[in-house]
Amino acid sequence: MVLLGAPGSGKGTQAERLVNKLQIPHISTGNILRQAIEDKNELGTIANSYIQKGTLVPDSIIIQIVEERLGKPDCIPGFVLDGFPRTVTQAESLEFWLDSVMLSLDAVVYLWVSEETLITRLVNRRICSKCQSVYHLINHPSEQDGVCDKCGGILVQRSDDQETTVKHRLKVYEEQTAPLRDFYQNLGLLVVIDGEKEPNTVFGTLVEAISKK
């Protein structure tokens, strides 16, 4: 399955719970891209050359890295894709590859959250400068204001969590994924989940929805 959701939609949290329940791998594009770069394999080296220049890694490279990961044995029982596909071009390539290995997606889940809620979630997020633990000023504050409970590091706001940047990120995300949602809707795969509710309720709805698929 594919999991779609804007920044701040709770997609990462739900993906983690889902793979624990189903015992299948969570395939995060960001993670496998970083791993490929760390491994210094051919695709990772090519991808890193674009990142170092401050440009987007081309679809063709991302697609190859994802396909290589999906071809590993732990993906045989299934997988949850997170962060891929981001465009219709990537979605079409994924469909072509899955067809070539006689597989198909069971569902594409979109976690819907209003823009107002997304902004509130993101601008109040804080990250530990040492251990990268995540806090939230409203939903999950640290015991001591501005200090990480785990390691005592200083909590900071990421530059891309500032309100002006957040609004731009959400605008770009919507422009990218609106056609993608239409693509999967036309294939009869799209499942829309209300991501505004509390996490346990969202997870229960998510599990119920995919079990029907």
pLDDT beneath 50: ranges in the chain: none
Q: pTM for this one?
A: 0.83
Per-residue pLDDT tens digits for 123-155: 999 999 999 898 999 988 999 999 999 999 999
List of domains in the chain: 2-24+77-113+170-212 (3.40.50.300)
Active-site residue flag, 121: no
Per-residue burial over 166-181, b if 16 or more Cβ lie within 10 Å, else e, is beebbeebeeebeebb
Active site residue 17: no
Active site residue 181: no
Rg (CA), the chain: 18
Single out the catalytic residue among 11, 69, 121, 126: 11
